[in-house]
Structure 1
Amino acid sequence: MHTTLIGAAELSQHLTDDNWVILDCRHDLMNPNAGRDGFAIGHIQNAQFANIDSDLSGAKVGADGKFRGRHPLPERAVLIDTLRGWGINDGTQVVAYDAHGGMFAARLWWLLRWVGHPAVAVLDGGLAAWQSQGLPMVTAEAPRARGAIIERVSLTTTVSVEDVVANLGTQVRTVVDARAADRYRGENETIDPVGGHIPGAKNRFFKDNLSADGRFKDAAQLKEEFAPLFASAPQAIMQCGSGVTACHNLLALEVAGLSGAALYPGSWSEWCADPARPVATGA
C-alpha cells in the first residue's frame, strides 16, 4: 500500500492493474479549463480527470448563506459518489498526479484520507517526472466500472473558522500559511484582493517542500525544516488561499513522519470575506 508518495517507475508497473485508479488533477487557478485541456492533449494511461472545482470542492455558499471559501470541502456523501464513479473500491490503490509539484494532487490525497481511505499516494515529481523517464502518454479516456467505496473513520482532522477565531485569543495552536510570501505579506492583490494573513500565522510556502528536481525532499530534511514552526504536528493548523495547497504541507508532514496537523478548509478566502476578522500584513 502506498500512502504518501509513489515514483514514476513504480507507477508504470501498475497501469493496467484492475485494483489501481489513477487520477489526473491538473488545474490552473487563472484558467479553469487548463486542466481538462491538458488531459485531452495527453495523460498517463488509464488516468481519469479530477476537476478541482467540481469534483474536489463543494458549494461556495453554505446552507446558512455564509461564504465558505473558494474551494470548500464537498459534502462527504457527494464525494463518496464521485469516488465510486471513478471505480474506487475499499481496497483500491489510488494515485493522484498533476503538473504543479503536487499542489492539486495533494488535495485529492487529503480528501481520500478524510473519508478514511489510506491507500492513496501522489506521484512524486508529477507529470514532469513521468515524462523525464520517457514514459508514454495517451489521449484515449478509459472510464472504469463503478466502484463501491464506503466512508470509514477519517484519517484527518479539520478546524472551522470559529476555531481559528477562538485561537486568536488562546494561541494554543499555530497556524501555518502555505501561500507564497508576497501573498502572505499582503502584496499580491491580483490573487488576494484583501491581502495579508491571519494574525499570528507563520509562513511555509508549499513549494519549499520540493527539491530542485520537483520531487519532495526526504523525510529528515522536511522534519528539520518544519521543526521551528510549531511544537508538535497535532498543535498545528495548515491553511492557504482556499484549502488546496495547505494539503501539500500536510502531505509533506506525513512524509516527514509528523502526523496530526489539522486543515482549515476555508482558509484565507473564507477568513477575509468577513471584515470583522482581523488581518495582519508584512513579514
Structure 2
Amino acid sequence: MSYTCLISAEDLANWPGGSGLVIFDCSFSLADSGAGKEDYLAGHIPGARYLHLELDLSSTPTGRNGRHPLPDPRVLAATLRRHGLSHNDQVVVYDASGGPFAARAWWLLRWLGHPAVAVLDGGRQAWEDAGLVFEGGGPATMVSGDFEAIRPDELMTVDAANVLASVGAADALILDARTASRFRGEANPLDPIPGRIPGAANRFYGDNLAADGRFKSPAILADEFSSILNGTAPAGVILQCGSGVTACHNALAMEAAGLRGARLYPGSWSEWIVDPERPRARG
C-alpha cells in the first residue's frame, strides 16, 4: 500500500521494518532560516533526514522570479537520491508548522514524478501527541538511492502570462493562500508591495486544519472548497500565495478532498509585483 496524500502518526509508527520508507523533516521558520535545522538536530522522528526550504526545496531568487523559486529538478533529484530515495520508496514529509513546508516537498516530489509521498497529518505535534519518541543528532549514514527525476510535469504549473490571461476568465479562479489581511493588501513585513491579483479569491491555508492541527475531513474540505470554487472546475484553479509555498497546502487539501487538477503559480505574489504592468488590487 502506498500513501499519496496524508498519513497518520499511528500508520507511520506501524510501518513495517526494513527498507522502502524515507522520511523528511521539512521544518522551517521564515523569521529564522536556521531554526528548522536546529530543531531537527535537537529531535526528529527516528530515521528522518532534513530538507531546507531555501537550500533544498527552492532555487536562488534573481529578484524577478519570486522569493522561493522552484528548484532545479536535477539538483533536487540528486539531493533526494543522496538521502537514500529510490523510485519504489514511500516518502513521508512533515514539519512543525501545520504542514506548509511539508506540503511544498509533497508537491515537488509529485512534480518530479514520485507519487508515493504523503504528509504526516498533524506533523511533529501529532507524533508527540501519540507518545512516540524522537531522536537527536544528525542523520545516520544512508546508502544513496536510485531516484532520477523524470521530466517535471509542466501541467502542474502556470507562469505569470497564464495568470494574467486568467484574470476575469469565466472558467478560471485564482486562489490566494495568504492571510486575509495580506490578501486585502494591508501592510506587512513579507510583501514589499501589498495587495493581490485582481479577481482572486482567498483561502488561507490554515483554514484547512481542524483545531487539533490535523487536516479537516475530506468531506468538510470538499464542501468548503466547492463553496469557494463556485462551479469552477478544479483544473481551472490557479493556486498562489506569497512565494509559492503555502499554496501547496491548498493543493494538498484539494487533493485530500478529491478535487484534483489545480495548478500552481510558483512565483506567486512576490514575482507578480516585480512587473509594474501587472494589475494589482487592494481592499
Q: TM-score, normalised by structure 1?
A: 0.94
Residue 30 of structure 1: aligned partner = 31
Task: Give 1:10 shift.
Answer: 1.0
Secondary structure of the structure 2 residue equivalent to 1:122: strand
Bigger shift: residues 224-233 or 250-259: 224-233
Residue 149 (1) aligns with residue 150 (2): no
Aligned positions, number: 278
| 8 Å contact kept, 1:223–1:256 | yes
| 8 Å contact kept, 1:15–1:46 | no
Secondary structure of the structure 1 residue equivalent to 2:250: helix
Residue 42 of structure 1: aligned partner = 43
Secondary structure of the structure 2 residue equivalent to 1:22: strand
Secondary structure of the structure 1 residue equivalent to 2:269: helix
Bigger shift: residues 266-275 or 13-22: 13-22
Secondary structure of the structure 2 residue equivalent to 1:259: coil
Which letter maps to 1:248? H
User: 75, 79, 93: which is aligned to 1:78?
Assistant: 75
RMSD: 1.5
Gaps spanning 5+ residues in structure 1: where?
Answer: none
TM-aligned CA distance change 1:188 to 1:143, over 3 Å: farther
Residue 244 of structure 2: aligned partner = 243
TM-aligned CA distance change 1:151 to 1:135, over 3 Å: same
Residue 183 of structure 2: aligned partner = 184
| 8 Å contact kept, 2:25–2:94 | yes
Residue 133 (1) aligns with residue 130 (2): yes
| 8 Å contact kept, 1:48–1:143 | no
Residue 212 of structure 1: aligned partner = 211
| 8 Å contact kept, 1:16–1:46 | no
Q: TM-score, normalised by structure 2?
A: 0.94
Which letter maps to 2:208? N
Separation in 2, partners of 1:24, 1:16: 19
User: 101, 121, 126: which is aligned to 1:124?
Assistant: 121
Bigger shift: residues 45-54 or 272-281: 272-281
Map 1:84-123 onto structure 2 (within 5 A): 84-123=81-120
Deviation string 1:15-64 (CA, Å, 9 cap, x unpaired) is 85321000000000111011011011111101011000010001212xxx
Residue 53 of structure 2: aligned partner = 52
Task: Give 1:167 shift.
Answer: 1.8
Bigger shift: residues 29-38 or 16-25: 16-25
Task: Give 1:162 shift.
Answer: 1.2
Which letter maps to 1:39? Y
Gaps spanning 5+ residues in structure 2: where?
Answer: none
Task: Give 1:250 shift.
Answer: 0.3
